[in-house]
Amino acid sequence: MNNPKVSSRKTIILREAARLFREKGYSGTNLRELAKSSGIQGGSIYHHFSSKQEILYQIMEYTMTILISKIGELIGSEPEPFEQLRKAIRFHIEYHTSNVNETYVTDAELRSLTPDNYKKIVVLRNKYEHIYIQIIKDGIRAEKMKIDDVKLVSKALLQMLTGVSYWFDPNGSLRINEIANKYIKLFFWGIAGKDNQNHEEAS
């Protein structure tokens, strides 16, 4: 989470906090248990964070910042909207499944933020969502996509993709890459559309 040492105590606390917050909720988690599973005593958490709230905020702020920056790079190096969307979908699923705890908390614990922190995170959320909206708008302009309500469609997409991390099982039979392909196909052609899988005719 930080840079210097890959797994400093602070990093450990943030990782364990994300896990506990997902498993028991923010209010349902107490700092003594968090400390214990981070290998320190209860009070010692306050050497690294000023409050419980700050731990939650840092998890969310970090997660959203990474999401935004990574997807920025991704679509920056790809001009074609259709292909941008494919890459974005793949990325969203990959990141959310390999960082379930953090992304789940970022998604579900908005209500536990103080008003100030809430505002800041919502700004980042909207920023991330707007990247998807923009891709789809570009796709329409390039006459590749046919949509009359971009906002609704992008919300539907993100909701659908995030859901993967709720049921994904690393030991299951499906690889992330296969799942991404299935979702791309579903989102592009629906359940009653094309029966062939030739969705590789980009630009």
Partner DNA sequence: GCATCAACCTAATGTTTGTCAGGTTGCCCT
Partner DNA sequence: AGGGCAACCTGACAAACATTAGGTTGATGC
Candidate ranges 26-34, 102-110, 155-163, 189-197; the one touching DNA (CB under 7 A): 26-34
CB-nearer residue toward DNA: 26 or 132: 26
For residue 11, which amino acid is it? Answer: T
Size of the site for DNA (CB under 7 A): 20
Which one of residues 7, 23, 32, 98 is an interface residue with DNA (CB under 7 A)? 32
The SS3 of residue 152 is helix
N- to C-terminal Cα separation, the chain: 38
- Segment near DNA (CB under 7 A); pick from 46-54, 105-113, 118-126, 145-153: 46-54
**Is residue 132 near a copy of itself by the rule CB under 8 A?**
no
Asked if residue 191 binds a copy of itself (CB under 8 A), the reply is yes
> Closest Cα partner for 137 from 128, 125, 124, 146?
146
Tokens representing residue 70 in the block: 């990574």
Distances (CA, A) of 129 to 41, 136, 153, 159: 39, 11, 11, 11
Cβ proximity to a copy of itself, 120 vs 155, nearer residue? 155
Positions that interact with DNA (CB under 7 A):
8-9, 29-32, 35, 40-48, 50-53
